[in-house]
Amino acid sequence: MLEVSSLNKVYRSGAREVEALRDLTFTVDSGELVCLVGPSGCGKTTLLRCIAGLLEPSGGKVRLDGREVSGPPPGLAMVFQEYGRSLFPWMSVRDNVELPLKQKKITRHRRATLVEQALDAVGLAGTESAYPWQLSGGMQQRVAIARAVAYEPSTLLMDEPFAAVDAQTRADLEDLVRALWQRLEVTVLFITHDIDEAVYLGQRVLMLSSSPTVVQDEITVDLPAARDQLHTRADPRFTELRTHVYEQIQAAKLQPGGANASS
């Protein structure tokens, strides 16, 4: 169970002061898959960093399974928006994926299996020995995803993880994330700009207002749990939900600070 309560974050540097998050409160149950959408620059990445314990909030609290987050909690994996910079250029693709597993003290044999499976699942079999900078943008992003998937985390934070891949691969990866989530009962927080993706993937979609940021709205995606690209997207309920989300986002852009803003 992930609880975010009155989270506030102000970036200060010299004269510039940016209130990235004003007052965020929401909870995510254990094993839930929640998608986050919001205008560009509204503070989604900031929020994810706070949840991962990488950034100290200016106010408010983040609790994971009852404990307050002060550093990265165990069993957490994160796919960074800056996928290119989050891969280590001095390691081959395989080593990049394998390293966190070593840190987790997984046996060599199991590691090899996990790495192979993960790279296979993201369609990168055969590039194990290449360096990340020898890969295309989309391939780099998939390495970052493979790294998180192979880690078998209990909490998975993903920051626009499919931004650089083509439509077909994206669909495959969406199904991969849902499969992983169902198999391991991971708590997933998923940031995306693709509204269809948010509705297709999530059990719930949280919509953030533009900066200063609050939770603008949230909907529960009442589509059946068994989803597939063809049928789910054709479902009239799907279209209804995505239209709702779309409207909310447009509203968010037009009226910053959101309706629920408490200030």
Ligand X SMILES: Nc1ncnc2c1ncn2[C@@H]1O[C@H](COP(=O)(O)OP(=O)(O)OP(=O)(O)O)[C@@H](O)[C@H]1O
Contact positions vs its own copies (CB under 8 A): 11, 13, 16, 18, 37-46, 81-82, 84-85, 129-130, 134-139, 142, 160, 163-170, 193-195, 246, 249-250, 253
Q: Which two tokens stand for residue 98?
A: 């394998």
* Residue 119 CB, nearest approach to another protein (Å): 17
41 forms part of the interface with another protein (CB under 8 A): no
- Select from 1, 29, 30, 89 the one that contacts another protein (CB under 8 A): 89
Angle between helices 167-184 and 137-150 (to 10 degrees): 10
Question: Which partner in ligand X, its own copies, another protein, none is near 190 (CB below 5 to 8 A by kind)?
Answer: none
* Residue 195 CB, nearest approach to ligand X (Å): 13
* Residue 89 CB, nearest approach to another protein (Å): 5
86 forms part of the interface with another protein (CB under 8 A): yes
Q: Which C-beta is closer to another protein: that of 159 or that of 217?
A: 159
* Residue 111 CB, nearest approach to another protein (Å): 14
Q: Which C-beta is closer to another protein: that of 99 or that of 251?
A: 99
The count of other CB atoms within 10 Å of the CB of residue 143 is 25
Residue 118 forms beta bridges with which residues?
A: none
